[in-house]
Amino acid sequence: MSELPKSLEEAIAQSRTATQAALADGHTRLQVEFVFPELKTMLVAADFLPMFAEYDSRLKIFFADAGAAALARREWADTPYKIEDIGTGRATAVGSKIRTEDEIFLFVTPTSVEVPQMEKLCQEIGDRPIVLLNPHLEDFGIVGIGYAARQIRQRFIGTIESSYYLRPVDDQTAVFHCYPGQWEIWVETNDEYQKIAELPKKPSGEELDLILMKGQPQTATNNATPGKKPGVFKSLQRFLKALSS
């Protein structure tokens, strides 16, 4: 059972282990989410990449646009991974970006704008595994408010499973998921963090509000013991502020 991490570094290490376990169990459409507005994507991605070391040049990394892909090629010039962008060449055959020798795919911070193109790429990818790192796919207000665009996004999002999720709701509350564990709600009480709920799926806003109002341990099986962890989320917030400064 994973504990709430003490730092972003520990969280990324947890996410690598969780994602490797999910892949080993046969899950092929995964996402990893660190829901912090302060995060610098390239730093997180660089720390996440070691989990793909065994794939060498058989890993293909997709960024949302040509600028981000070019930056990654410069910063990661010494790595063997292939780097592409999702958005370039929309009029060309999508399959030209997918090669038979590609074994696994990492999409770094894709947004709802790229979902139609990602869906086409994934059709070419087939059963090979993909991992989405910090995707922003559910903001329907960005583009394509029409019915067809919403259907594409909902269809694509429905194929993705979470292997890791960490989100501070506020200074006292966190939502945490680490495969193969359940979704957990942690709340600070007297400088300690207590796990007050375990759920089989990601809680909605209303479900989260209800759990926090009740403030009582709730589990899917009604037999889990709440755990405590001193001051971890304050440490994590300090770490993030230092990282983003």
Query: How do residues 12-39 score in pLDDT, each as one tens digit?
Result: 999 999 999 999 999 999 999 998 877 8
Residue 217 to residue 208: CA distance in whole angstroms:
12
User: What are the structural domains, with CATH classification, of the chain?
Assistant: 8-164 (3.40.50.300), 167-244 (no CATH)
DSSP 117-132: HHHHHHHHHTTS-EEE
Whose CA is closest to 63, among 108, 106, 25, 22? 108
Residue bearing tokens 């680490």: 178
Task: Mark the ranges of the chain whose per-residue pLDDT is less than 70.
Answer: 1, 88-95, 139-149, 215-245
Residue pLDDT, tens place only, 177-219:
999 999 999 988 777 788 999 999 999 888 998 988 876 544 4
Q: Quick one: pLDDT at residue 92?
A: 46
Residue 106 to residue 129: CA distance in whole angstroms:
9
Whose CA is closest to 90, among 67, 51, 118, 131? 118
SS3 198: strand
Name the token pair of 244. Answer: 């983003």
Q: Quick one: pLDDT at residue 17?
A: 97
For residue 162, what are the CA distances in angstroms to 57, 120, 202, 221?
A: 25, 21, 9, 21
